[in-house]
Chains A and B, each alone.
Chain A
């Protein structure tokens, strides 16, 4: 697979990219287990790194300079050091990590953590809202299409529902923060 092709998968088919990257990142789990993590941490770190990778790749400026595994590993390391720091203040989060792009700094990890918290909050938003928001924001479906699929009377109702769902999402996220 050429580099161009693989970047296009990471950008255009995130589901497939997630599966490919998950497979490529198995060694990360071993690394986490060897570095103070248990198997649950390891699974978490790998999944978070895959997600962060795909979100990075979706940016138009994204360039894959080396092997995807190397970038994935670097992201995982950065995130894991950060998590370890939250458990023990002696851990250095500014440690130099090979293959890590400059933009993956501490602020970036902070924003990743915020989004993770948002993700957890959204688990309680309900299936209908989740499907609606996913169709609209992730699959870029029209309100007409969504109305038919989710059996709303028309696109206006679907749109009104979208506002409600977003508000519910914001409340859930804010409550989670508190």
Chain B
């Protein structure tokens, strides 16, 4: 018996105890045999892998072919309906066999809407839709073909996974060790403070860092990429959305803990309440948004409103060893903040309106600042800060700034923040040494290489600015509370209908895929204009409906016409 046969018996457990023992002893004493065993295991592993890959590719080849040799089985009828949901849904396809050729294993119908793969007289059914709205399905178990065959239980895949519209990325090369401002083609400004990037091992890249940036520019992008501006069921008004990634030598980077970069989207109307949201796809492939939660540093502490009110004055010290500039989550520049999450962010708004030279004068010096918060009868009344002056000029500046601070920094805790505090959702930053001292939450450096004029020009631009602490899908949004909200029912002809609502007047969109003949959009703005774009799969092909209406009541969506991507493009691109 050859060694290889013995090895096969050994691996298959076909040896008796004694024989096995003997063989194992040989393995110990005969290195070439041991080597042969290892090499044989590799061969069998490689063989199995090749076989499994072939099986997978049998499916894949059909998944991705847009055209395929016209073959023999013609699918006369097609799927009665298809839901673009990832959940398994009951579906039916009827295939009709017209002719058969033993050698052909792949077929398509003339309309190129359905594909079928056969093995002998069995087949696995794949269904492929138009390039604009592709849906693929297949059965795991081959079925015996009859002249007319009804195939049930087809699983449709999420549209976003199949369609995969390509994002147009812009690329930038930057260095991590210095402040950088990038301008994208759309005029969006991205500011990376020095040393903000690191890899998953917290190592800061020393060479070139590649930034990839793609912006969702119009409603067509939202439709193609299955994006809403919903966070949970709430409707957000978008000030700009993008996908952004950073790499060093191909390795993805992350934002260092506690740091943030800013993205400023150009806008015609600056909206001070903008917040940062991160995108996440749900099981149906729809991209929804999750509001950024403030990071809790070791020095952050939950506080109750009572504990804030017990004392009348709070303060904190900040060491300024470099040029510093404080940017609030809503984009306003500040000297300091109580917390990123309290919403008390506008109290030093006018800081922006100070001449740039004044700001730089103050902040580009190495100074220790003392911040003091004031409360009166439980109400936050403002804060001021003290700079230790070193010479006459600075002394003047110090006074001016203090005066300014006292005058402008009046602000009340609003009811929303009080309720936040009562629910235990209010955070303050505490320095490690003194519990009553606050530290900065966000400090970013300003690019010291920029000239004063350039900086001033930047300030003048109308931009929605957010601080971002992650890479991926990023959205600059706010809850638009101007309108009354109602739940709106939309009746649709069939299950699996995808309905996308676009509120062009306030840059918002909602998206749902129906489970039955009705879907409900919660929190729809009453009395507002809406463009409804719906698509559904029918036995006669893909259908669409585009209706513009004003939201007053429930709506019946019944005017469906054959799908026309150009029409959708025309309406949504502008």
**Interface pair B52/A90, CB less than 8 Å apart:** no
Q: Quick one: CB contact mask for B39-70 with A, threshold 8 Å, 1 for yes?
A: 11011111111111101100110000000000
The one of B43, B52, B55, B248 in contact with A122, judged by C-beta atoms closer than 8 angstroms, is: B43
Q: Judge whether A45 is part of the interface by a CB distance below 8 angstroms.
A: no
Find chain A residues with CB under 8 A from B51 CB.
14, 134, 138
Contact B199 A118 (CB under 8 A): no
B391 within 8 A of partner (CB): no
Taking a contact as CB atoms closer than 8 A, the residue among A30, A50, A174 that contacts B52 in the complex is A50
Q: B394 contacts the other chain (Cβ, under 8 Å)?
A: no
Q: Which of A13-36 contact B (CB under 8 A)?
A: 14-16, 18-20, 22-23, 26-27, 30, 34-36
A146 to chain B: closest CB distance in Å? 14
Chain B residues near A114: list those with CB within 8 A.
42, 45
B28 contacts partner chain A, Cβ-Cβ < 8 Å: no
Contact A166:B43 (CB < 8 A) given known A19-B59, A115-B49, A123-B50: yes
| Distance A173 CA – B42 CA, assembled complex (angstroms) | 9
Contact of B42 among A30, A35, A118 (CB under 8 A): A118
Contact residue among A36, A119, A166 (Cβ-Cβ distance under 8 Å from B50): A119
User: Which residues does chain B contribute within 8 Å of A88, judged by CB atoms?
Assistant: 248-251
**Residue in chain A with minimal CB distance to B250:** A36
Which A30-62 residues have a C-beta within 8 angstroms of B?
30, 34-36, 47, 50-51, 54-55
A50: B residues at CB distance < 8 A = 52, 56
Interface membership of B247, Cβ < 8 A: yes
Residues B247 and A116 in contact, CB atoms below 8 Å apart: no
Our pick among A16, A118, A120 for the contact of B45 (Cβ within 8 Å) is A118
Chain A residues touching B, range = 35 or more
Report the minimum CB–CB distance from B142 to chain A (whole Å).
9
Asked if B389 lies at the interface with its beta carbon under 8 angstroms from chain A, I say no
Interface centre among A15, A50, A111 (most CB of B within 10 A): A15
Name the distance in Å between B235's Cβ and chain A's nearest Cβ.
Answer: 26
A14 to B58, CA, bound (A): 13
Please name all residues of chain A whose beta carbon is closer than 8 Å to the beta carbon of B43 when the two chains form the complex.
Answer: 118, 122, 166, 169-170, 173
Contacting residues, chain B, for A15 (C-beta < 8 A): 52, 55
Q: How large is the interface on B (under 10, 10 to 19, 20 to 34, 35 or more residues)?
A: 35 or more
Given A22-B60, A138-B51, A122 contacting B46 (CB threshold 8 A): yes
Residue of A with least CB distance to B199: A90
Once the chains bind, are B47 and A122 in contact (CB under 8 Å)?
yes
Contact partner, B251, options A51, A55, A90, Cβ 8 Å: A90
Give the residue of A16, A36, A130, A169 whose beta carbon is less than 8 angstroms from that of B140: A16
A95 an interface residue at 8 Å Cβ cutoff? yes
A19 to B60, CA, bound (A): 9
Q: Is B141 an interface residue (CB 8 A)?
A: yes
Known: A91-B199, A163-B4. 11 other contacts (CB 8 A): A15-B52, A50-B52, A51-B48, A84-B250, A88-B250, A90-B251, A116-B46, A118-B47, A119-B50, A133-B47, A169-B46
* Chain B residues near A (Cβ < 8 Å): 2, 4, 39-40, 42-53, 55-56, 59-60, 138, 140-141, 155, 157-158, 161, 199-201, 203, 245, 247-252, 472
Supply 20 A–B pairs (Cβ within 8 Å), ascending by A: A16-B140, A19-B55, A19-B56, A19-B140, A22-B56, A47-B56, A51-B48, A90-B248, A90-B249, A91-B251, A92-B201, A118-B45, A119-B47, A122-B43, A134-B51, A137-B48, A138-B47, A166-B40, A166-B43, A170-B40
Give the 10 A-B CB pairs with smallest separation, nearest first: A118-B46, A115-B45, A15-B55, A119-B46, A119-B49, A118-B42, A92-B201, A18-B55, A18-B56, A88-B251
